[in-house]
Amino acid sequence: MEIKNERIVFMGTPEFAVATLDALVSAGFQICAVVTAPDRPAGRGRQLRASAVKQRAVELGIDLLQPEKLKDPLFVEQLKGYNASIHVVVAFRMLPEVIWKMPPLGTVNLHASLLPKYRGAAPINWAVTNGEVRTGATTFRIQQEIDTGDILLQEGIDIGKDDTAGDVHDRLMVMGADLMVGTIHGLFDGSLHSVPQQMNGSDLPAAPKLNNENTRLHFDRSAQHVHDLVRGMSPFPGAWCEWVTDGNRPLHCKLLRTRIAEVDQKKAPGTVLLIGSRMLVACADGVIEVLELQLEGRKRMEAAELFRGLRVEGTISLQ
């Protein structure tokens, strides 16, 4: 088999997927088409914005498909016309069977966890939020149930005690791209074989979609829990709470960087303590120090910078 003559259709949308697309191109593989999301309104002006993968595909001069519906017969026929040996998927939508079964070598996905742990939409966020000290990336064959297919390759990385989801994202983005290159080489030359995921019952941690409820901070929990949720949701979407001051309406507030503080304070959970230029918040069993935050109507900033420009009267609490 002439490995470099095998044709690949690449499917992805965000920046995380761009690294893999670039790695495959740099490795000399033939990307015959890229499938990505349609342009969507974004920003204050709600102007149409192309996905990161589309922008890169245009720069590379690769054929581009942006179907609204993946079961659209016209799109299915277009895809068949590329006669790809394999589909490669990174951070895309759930595929219908007619798509993932189409190529002779099937469809391979890159997932940002050590499967079977953290199946779902937000594996990096939840691994950090749950205080994991290790995570990784997995390439696997797509099958009917999401993130359950047979594993091809896996590689792990350590998570530092103050690493954010953004830190882990950036490391996995690079490592995962190299992992996919190794996967495609192995599939094309026949040296790589998949193995079923080892199911460990219902105690496997999941990675559900992020929403307004599961990203909210609760200061009546441990300082470690609060710190980990902040890390896991930073920089996006941001763990949030309400900033409450005497006589004013509550303001939406995101905490974006914190650390556990060695301060002996016995205040009600959520009480904000201003000690010099430091912003401390009482939790159920300790205190966290807020290093960066974003208050409603303001940009992201360091806590010390916020308080230099903020007139503070009365007490502040986070709820």
Task: Determine, yes or no, domain membership for 214.
Answer: no
Are 260 and 182 part of one and the same domain? no
Residues 188, 100 share a domain:
yes
For the chain, how many structural domains are there in total?
Answer: 2
- The answer to whether residue 217 sits within a structural domain is no
> What is the C-alpha separation between 109 and 86, in angstroms, rounded?
11
Domain range for 97: 3-203
CA 138 to chain centre: 14
Domain assignment of residue 218, yes or no: no
Could you report the average pLDDT of every consecutive run of 10 residues in the chain (319 residues)? 78 97 97 95 77 96 97 97 98 96 97 97 98 98 93 98 97 98 97 89 86 97 97 97 88 96 86 87 94 93 81 71
**pLDDT of 1:** 46
| Residue 191, phi then psi, degrees to nearest 5 | -90, -10
The CA R_g of the chain, rounded to the nearest whole Å, is 23
Give yes or no: residues 173 and 260 share one domain.
no
Domain membership of residue 155 (yes or no) is yes
Q: The domain spanning residue 289 has which CATH number? A: 3.10.25.10
Predicted pLDDT at 274: 85
Q: Find the CATH number of the domain harbouring 118.
A: 3.40.50.170
Residues 117 and 236 in one domain: no
Q: Cα–Cα distance between 97 and 82 in angstroms, integer?
A: 18
30: tokens are 């033939």
Whether 232 and 162 map to the same domain: the answer is no
Confirm whether 15 is domain-assigned: yes
Are 306 and 298 spatial neighbours (Cβ–Cβ below 8 Å)?
A: yes
Residues 199 and 234 reside in one and the same domain: no
| 209 within some domain | no
| 27 secondary structure, DSSP code | T
Residues 184 and 86 sit within 8 Å (Cβ to Cβ): yes
Instruction: Report pTM.
Output: 0.94
CA distance 121 to 18: 18
The confidence score (pLDDT) of residue 202 equals 63
Residues 199 and 289 in one domain: no
Residue 69 and residue 13 share a domain: yes
Same domain for 170 and 238?
A: no
Do residues 34 and 106 both lie within one domain? yes
- Residues 59, 185 within the same domain: yes
Structure confidence at residue 9 (pLDDT): 98
Residue 200 confidence (pLDDT): 64
The three-state DSSP-derived secondary structure of 24-35 is HHHCCCEEEEEE
